[in-house]
Homo-oligomer: A and B are copies of this chain.
């Protein structure tokens, strides 16, 4: 098998800068993995779905290291402190020292939990992301957000912790199920909506190719998404400002995920419906034209994502869950809204009655 690197991007964070490698077959090529492993002890954290597909290949690429694997159950509903602790128990049980490296092999849940464990084990050990879903390749593996959910809110406990590198092997997307592919496309569309109308246009022309898993189209979409995210993260690592734009649709989406129970809706599905709500609110506030909203909703729908909130979730439940979101500061809810395709803005000065109206209408449909 010969690996083919298509893109290398760098997240510019001074002494904590790191590369993102994008291409086919990178999983098997030591050139991308080995330079980023400091010591000899390596723990691969994966889950029961991904491990049977790719764990042996990754292990074959790690000969000469002391490797241990730790498997988590598959799903967002296991992204909690109890399962996070099993990773720490395993690291201690294997007597891993402070020079060891944790590799996350899986989607966003695996990456978030393994990264948070790497951040806290002995106050921080090496960490490498090998994302295996489209969503984690374009979003969650880049930027250093790690953490777990709490019954009272999503991603409420965690750390900013940057990996040594991200290895996005596009071949693994061939085994992804259609629902997961669509969930990843939600985050891809997000980048177009918040700051790149040109990329949004490209997505409109290439949505069929992406859904058909055209290798060129996927590699381009991943690279553009990572480029956008890397630039934003380099400008604002700890989300004091512009990084918040990446949360378009996420405050609504997190409320959906918590409301229906973690794992019922995929994160990307909730973000899809959440972006429709953010767009609709923007239009109601007179910020965005009806045409632009129609284009946004149409693309989200073509990506086979939900465009309505889950049945049975009322506006009150939305407001209650959104009130505890991380985007709340001193009692004011900050939302990412749209002025147009490609122009996201952070706003907290909107009329709460319009938000209520938007949710009431959406929940009735």
Chain A residues packing against B (C-beta within 8 Å): 39-40, 81, 85, 88-89, 92-93, 95, 97-99, 119-124, 145, 147, 150, 152-153, 155-160, 238, 323-324, 326, 328-331
Are B157's CB and A124's CB within 8 A?
Answer: no
Q: Is chain A's binding surface mostly helix, strand, loop or mixed?
A: mixed
Are B330's CB and A152's CB within 8 A?
Answer: no
Are A324's CB and B95's CB within 8 A?
Answer: yes
Chain B, Cβ-Cβ closest to A93: B152
Are A120's CB and B329's CB within 8 A?
Answer: no
6 nearest CB pairs, A to B: A92-B152, A97-B328, A123-B158, A122-B326, A99-B329, A120-B157
* Contacting residues, chain B, for A92 (C-beta < 8 A): 150, 152-153, 156, 324
Bound Cα distance A161, B81 (Å): 20
Bound Cα distance A159, B124 (Å): 7
Are A121's CB and B156's CB within 8 A?
Answer: yes
Are B159's CB and A123's CB within 8 A?
Answer: yes
How many copies of this protein are present in the complex? 2
Chain B, Cβ-Cβ closest to A117: B157
Bound Cα distance A55, B323 (Å): 29
**Smallest Cβ distance from A85 to chain B, in angstroms?**
6
* Contacting residues, chain B, for A88 (C-beta < 8 A): 150, 156-157
Bound Cα distance A81, B86 (Å): 12
Bound Cα distance A30, B40 (Å): 51
| Most chain B Cβ neighbours within 10 Å, of A147, A160, A328 | A328
Question: Apart from A39-B330, A97-B328, what are 19 other A-B pairs with CB-CB below 8 Å?
Answer: A81-B81, A81-B85, A88-B157, A89-B150, A92-B152, A92-B153, A95-B323, A97-B329, A97-B331, A119-B159, A120-B120, A120-B159, A122-B157, A122-B326, A123-B147, A123-B158, A124-B159, A124-B160, A159-B159
Instruction: Using A88-B150, A324-B95 as known contacts, say yes or no to A123 and B160 having CB atoms under 8 A apart.
Output: yes
